[in-house]
């Protein structure tokens, strides 16, 4: 039986390996990371990431066939299959800064694999990487290989945070790309054998390496494009009196379009969409395809527009100034059921409000005060432990994450402790505007027909 080691104990490496260990009890799975704090977290009762269902999976196999360690070199050396699930953020400096993927961590992991390997290995790209990364990795390994043979596979992850365990248990598909040589195909078969323990065969797709690498970027670009499309329509709905939920429902009934991923919002966030589209844009530019690059860049353009449109709406509705006014922000994570704040729209919205001198008070059920302060670069904000405290004496409530609990808050209780006129700006369309209007609120909800008040105070985009 194969021995598996995964480099990178993050949002992808941790849950993916835990599920492989659960489904393959006879396979030893070791997750390694250079971060001692992360590994200590995985070995404790308080896992370093919040993900529904994950605690249970980890408890069932940790210490049995699932291990977390900082002894990176030892476990990489012993493994037959090495997954690389390190972070690949957007480059902030040098060539391609602001767009290209930073492969520093990937390259250093590859060099370390070459240094410590004494037996042949299958190296699996789990991180999202630019097309043709496998070729670069092959070169690094081949030039430092000392006779060890490597096969590189691309096996991108399609899990979404908040539903990672569910996605891993029943994936829409597992994608494995490999070289079209006998050795490459043999490696594909080994990895396929691992997934086939619980994933139906017809859901395991095998392709060439470049298709697999590009499919990951393309899938995220398509998903993000749907959100930008519906968000663009939401602006038109507000201008015309149409309701974006009704439009989304109507177009989603067309089986060619489908109903999912059509919720208008304050904007998409998360560690993947923006990073992967920028990466796609950069690759298109490198291959001399500026029109294609521009097409995808616009998906991010609309997302930025949507976030600033929201801030403008808040400020213009409140007599064009929020200076000195308390604004309660409900939700800071980039989506519900996660504590992750990477690229969350809440960062841009809070920065916009703070830029207009608002007094911002934030509540999120999973995001720590420390994290909020880090994300907002220590700017002066209050972080509360409940929604009502955030709303006390506030002029407005902004809902920025679609936490289920926010649907059932006692909005009358909130109204009673707020300044008047009291506003609700729903960036996730989770409250019933009519019910809130009955309480007395002035309500703005993305893409919904506007109150007379809001019509009288048009926002400048």
Can you say how many angstroms the Cα of residue 41 is from the centroid of all Cα atoms in its chain? 21
Q: What 3-state class would DSSP assign to 445?
A: strand
Residue whose CB is less far from ligand NAD, 86 or 221: 86
The three-class DSSP label of residue 392 is coil
Query: Does residue number 159 form part of the binding site for ligand UDX (CB under 6 A)?
Result: yes
Cβ-based neighbours of 8, under 8 Å, separated by 6 or more:
31, 33, 83, 84, 85, 86, 87, 105, 109, 126, 127
Q: In what helix (H) or strand (E) does residue 23 lie, and over which residues does it extend? A: helix 13-23
Whether residue 12 is annotated as binding a ligand: the answer is: yes
Q: For ligand NAD, which residue of 9, 54, 81, 431 counts as binding (CB under 6 A)?
A: 9
Q: Count residues binding ligand UDX (CB under 6 A).
A: 19
User: Of 88 and 265, which CB lies nearer to ligand NAD in the complex structure?
Assistant: 88
| Contact partner, 292, from ligand UDX, ligand NAD, none, Cβ < 5-8 Å per class | none
DSSP state of 202: G
- Note whether 113 and 122 are within 8 A (CB): no
Single out the residue of 4, 5, 6, 8 in contact with ligand NAD (rule: CB under 6 A): 8
Binding site partner of 7, from ligand NAD, ligand UDX, none, Cβ cut-off 5-8 A by kind: ligand NAD
The answer on whether 2 is annotated among ligand-binding residues is no
Which residue, among 191, 224, 278, has the nearest Cα to 16 in the 3D structure? 191
Q: Does 217 participate in binding ligand NAD (rule CB under 6 A)?
A: no
Nearer to ligand NAD among residue 55 and residue 183 (C-beta): 55
Q: Is 58 a known ligand-binding residue?
A: no
Residue 337 binds which one of ligand UDX, ligand NAD, none, with CB within 5 to 8 A depending on kind? none
Residue 331: DSSP 8-state: -
Q: Is 100 in the site for ligand NAD (CB under 6 A)?
A: no
H-type helices in 99-243, by residue range?
Answer: 104-116, 133-143, 164-169, 182-195, 209-240
Minimum distance from CB of 455 to ligand UDX (Å)? 25
Q: Which two tokens stand for residue 176?
A: 């494995």
Catalytic residue among 237, 272, 284, 398: 272
Angle of helix 209-240 relative to helix 133-143, nearest 10 degrees, comes to: 150
Nearer of residues 167 and 356 to ligand NAD, judged by Cβ: 167
Does an H or E element contain 204, and which?
strand 204-208
Binding residue for ligand UDX, selected from 136, 160, 196, 251, defined by CB under 6 A: 160
CA distance 176 to 208: 8
Select the residue interacting with ligand UDX from 51, 125, 161, 213 (CB under 6 A). 161
Asked if residue 368 binds ligand NAD (CB under 6 A), the reply is: no
**Contact letters for ligand UDX, residues 257-296 (x by CB under 6 A):** ----xxx-x--xxx-xx-----------------------
Query: Looking at 128, 155, 228, 401, which residue binds ligand NAD (CB under 6 A)?
Result: 128
116 labelled ligand-binding:
no
Burial label, 34 (beta-carbon count in 10 A; 0-12, 13-18, 19+): middle
Whether the CB-CB separation of 228 and 264 falls below 8 Å is answered with no
Q: Please classify residue 8 by burial: count the beta carbons closer than 10 Å to its beta carbon, then call 0-12 exposed, 13-18 middle and 19+ buried.
A: buried
Give, as one character, the DSSP assignment of residue 244: H
271 binds ligand NAD (CB under 6 A): yes
Structural Rg of the chain based on CA atoms? 24
Residues with catalytic roles = 272
Binding residue numbers for NAD(+): 8-13, 33, 38, 86-90, 127-128, 161, 272-275, 342
Extract the annotated binding site. 8-13, 33, 38, 86-90, 127-128, 161, 272-275, 342
Question: Which residues contribute to the site for ligand UDX (CB under 6 A)?
Answer: 157-161, 220, 223, 227, 261-263, 265, 268-270, 272-273, 334-335
């Amino acid at each position: 039986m194969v021995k598996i080691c995964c480099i990178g104990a993050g949002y992808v490496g941790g849950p993916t390996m835990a599920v492989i260990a659960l489904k393959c009890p006879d396979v030893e799975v070791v997750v390694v990371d250079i971060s001692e704090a992360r590994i200590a977290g995985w070995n404790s009762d308080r896992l370093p990431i919040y993900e529904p269902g994950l605690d249970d999976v980890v408890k069932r196999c940790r210490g049995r066939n699932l291990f977390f360690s900082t002894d990176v070199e030892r476990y990489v050396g012993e493994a037959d299959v090495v997954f690389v699930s390190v972070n690949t953020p957007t480059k902030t400096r040098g060539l391609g800064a602001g767009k290209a993927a930073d492969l520093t961590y990937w390259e250093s992991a590859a060099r370390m694999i070459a240094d410590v390997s004494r037996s042949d290995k299958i190296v699996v790209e789990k991180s999202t990487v630019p097309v043709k990364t496998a070729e670069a990795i092959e070169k690094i390994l081949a030039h430092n290989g000392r006779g060890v043979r490597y096969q590189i596979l691309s096996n991108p992850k399609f899990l979404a945070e908040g539903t990672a365990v569910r996605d891993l248990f029943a994936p829409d598909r597992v994608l494995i790309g490999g070289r079209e040589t006998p050795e490459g195909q043999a490696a594909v078969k080994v990895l396929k054998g691992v997934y086939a323990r619980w994933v139906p065969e017809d859901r395991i797709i095998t392709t060439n390496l470049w298709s697999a690498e590009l499919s990951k970027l393309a899938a995220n670009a398509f998903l993000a494009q749907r959100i930008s499309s519906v968000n663009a329509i939401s602006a038109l709905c507000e201008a015309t009196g149409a309701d974006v939920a009704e439009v989304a429902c109507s177009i989603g009934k067309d089986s060619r379009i489908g109903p999912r991923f059509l919720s208008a919002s304050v904007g998409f966030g998360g560690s993947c969409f923006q990073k992967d589209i920028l990466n796609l844009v950069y690759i298109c530019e490198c291959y001399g395809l500026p029109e294609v690059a521009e097409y995808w860049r616009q998906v991010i353009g609309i997302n930025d527009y949507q976030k600033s449109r929201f801030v403008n709406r808040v400020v213009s509705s409140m007599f064009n100034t929020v200076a000195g006014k308390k604004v309660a922000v409900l939700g800071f994570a980039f989506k519900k059921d996660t504590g992750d704040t990477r690229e969350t729209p809440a960062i841009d919205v809070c920065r916009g409000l703070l830029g207009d001198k608002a007094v911002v008070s934030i509540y999120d059920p999973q995001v720590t005060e420390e994290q909020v302060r880090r994300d907002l670069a220590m700017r002066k904000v209050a972080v509360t432990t409940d929604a009502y405290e955030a709303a006390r004496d506030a002029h407005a409530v902004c809902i920025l994450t679609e936490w289920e609990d926010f649907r059932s808050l006692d909005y009358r209780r909130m109204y009673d402790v707020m300044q008047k006129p009291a506003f609700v700006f729903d960036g996730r369309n989770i409250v019933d505007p009519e019910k809130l209007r009955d309480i007395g609120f002035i309500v703005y909800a993305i893409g919904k027909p506007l109150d007379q008040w809001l019509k009288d105070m048009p926002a400048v985009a």
